[in-house]
Structure 1
Amino acid sequence: MPPSWKSLQQYKPDYNQSYKEVWLYDFENTKIQYQIPIVNEEPIPILERPERFIIHGGGWGMGTYQGKIPELQEKGFELDIVLYEIQEASRKRIGDRCFMVDPSWRAWNKNERGSYEFPPLAQIIPDEEPIFENKEEYHELFDITKNTRAIIGKPGAGTLMDSLSSATPMIMLEPFGEHEKKNTRLWEKLGYGISYDTWKEKGFSMEILRELHENLVKGRKAALDYTEGYKYRNSL
């Protein structure tokens, strides 16, 4: 179980009742069993996207992403940086953009309408008050992700969903925990991602990212839609 879920054991189902655990990814057989599409649209071809990279530490700001920012900036890459502390904006260079989730948002808390919601997101611009906004359909960060050449970050579950749904390659940083180690190996074996160190050894190749993107386009077409399958199974 991912560490971020361990504090939520009160949501654990009663195993004495009818219950079936479903895994999206089959690590042993190197297979995506199900996908959960974020939007109902075709991915933007990678060569039609700006030559930008989104870099973040997942939902909890974890990992070694901050240490990679100076090197990427020196290479001239334009970054979309997800901040977890406002002070991180000082690392921004010309061409970079900074985004941040509303610090007052809390997972599992309902909004004023009594509904759970995706985290409100704002672009952080110097000397401007941030305007935090969100959608009901999906999280705002996905609109940024789908317009980048790659995601640079640790291979968490939500990040892999973004990668597959948008056909955006993963440039994977050091994993946290055994589950993320398996995520790393799976994405590498499927040809959906590459480790940061390997990408660096290959000269930060854009051609490799194009190949990974094409693999993702094919893979997402082949993967079953879990939500559609769930509706079908429950209609029988």
Structure 2
Amino acid sequence: MTTPERLIDHLSRWLGGWPATTGFDVIAEAGRVRPGWDGKIHPVLGVGSPQGGILSVPPEHAEAIAKQYAKSEDLATLGPTVPPLVGFPERGWFTAVYRWTTRPAPLADAGIWVSADDPEVPAWLRPFGGEVLIARDPQTGDHLAGVGVKRHDAYGRELAVVTAPQARGRGLARGLVAQAARRVLDEGAIPTYMHALDNRASAAVAEAAGFPDVGWTAFGVSEG
């Protein structure tokens, strides 16, 4: 599958380079020691495709991590050793399915965009800033589901969705994700979506919203 130019532009900025030149590259990236979309430090991030991958790390640790990887050439072995190497021994290592789309599912709009600082917006959505997408119960006005947008850079926007327990099974999540993806594309960026390897519910939402699994993964030091 051809990688969209927008995704290449995003990964080049988010990780410090794309695609890999040696199959798997450890890249020294100054952005790893600067606050990310949420104001927190994300010291190690990586993305892998069937053609290769990039592991983006703080410049001062790049050589040590590259040497560690060279010993085994196995990311599963390397990963758990990385948090202590970059000064975050209390954090873990994550691996997730990494999805993106240029053709969201043609589902009907399921929500409305509102400012994240609206006092009625659920607490979990407020940290995303900007506008968030929410679905309300038409009778009670209760919030049923919502999508926040992680604005990593001008070219990449990662979508995160949560549905209230009582509203699950209605197709709200897939409708909201597809709606949000269309807006991201209209703004000139690429919508991305990540979920844990064993999260079948999130995988089903992604597939239904038009985010296929094409064998890509994301990995890195987990958030604090």
* TM-score, normalising length: structure 2: 0.27
Which structure's relative contact order is higher, taking Cα pairs within 8 Å and 6+ residues apart?
2
Larger proportion of strand: 2
When the two structures are superposed, what TM-score results if normalisation uses the length of structure 1? 0.26
Q: Answer 1 or 2: which has greater helix percent.
A: 1
